[in-house]
Structure 1
Amino acid sequence: MTAMQIAGRNVQFNKKGHLVSFQDWDNDLAAALAAEDGLKLTPCHWSVINFLRDYYAFHEIPPSPKVIVREIGHQLSTHMPCTRKSLMSLFPNGGCKQACRIAGLPDYYCYAC
């Protein structure tokens, strides 16, 4: 484990760069993690991140990309059908795995992506 100073506080990460504790996450931390990856979070990013967190909090596993597209695809792409490819374009450095990391999900659950 590695402790890092992010968003004004010490946070524990595992060897793969994922939060150790799901409860340590907040919006400021997500924005800081995204900035490290070169992303500026848009409303579409936040829709995915919030959906991932809500789904994980209820089911204790992340949703598959298919579930994400089915449930919130209309929020991600209003002019054309949302696909897994459009979801991956929001998080270009790893797709769902990058989204899981920014959303504060443990890495061992992100195999579904």
Structure 2
Amino acid sequence: MTAIHSASRDLNLNKKGYLAHFDDWDRGIALALAAADGLTLTDAHWQVIAFMRQYYVANEIPPTPRVVVKAVGPAVSAHVPWTRQQLEDLFPDGGCRQACRIAGLPDYYCAGC
């Protein structure tokens, strides 16, 4: 296990860098995880993260990349269709899998991303 420090608290992560408990997540944790990956979170990142967390709460599984693109795309890019490549550009270290980690979803659920 490794530790991550956010402005709000310290948390332990598993070997893959995922939170052990979904409810431990907060925006400070997301910022710390993103910073560790070299990412600065934009509004588009936050929209993806919020959608993934809401979807996980409702369905107990993460959304597929296709579901994320269809759900978040119109809000992120109103005039140009959003693609999976653009999702992967936002989260360049694994696309949906990196988004899952930053969103605080458990890693055993994100294997199919």
TM-score (norm 1): 0.93
> Structure 1: which 5+ runs fail to align?
none
Contact 2:4 2:32 in 1 (8 A): no
Moved more, 70-79 or 29-38: 70-79
Aligned: 1:14 with 2:37:
no
Contact 1:49 1:103 in 2 (8 A): yes
Distance 1:22 1:38 in 2: 22
Question: What is the one-letter code of the residue matched to 1:105?
Answer: L
> Root-mean-square deviation (CA), in Å?
1.2
Aligned: 1:31 with 2:19:
no
Distance 1:55 1:104 in 2: 12
Partner of 1:11, secondary structure, is strand
Distance 1:71 1:5 in 2: 31
Distance 2:11 2:89 in 1: 28
The number of residue pairs the alignment matches comes to 113
Aligned: 1:103 with 2:103:
yes
Partner of 2:17, secondary structure, is coil
Partner of 2:105, secondary structure, is coil
Instruction: After TM superposition, give the deviation of residue 70 of structure 1 in Å.
Output: 1.1
Identity of paired residues, percent? Answer: 58
Misfit runs of 4+, over 4 Å: none
Instruction: After TM superposition, give the deviation of residue 8 of structure 1 in Å.
Output: 4.2
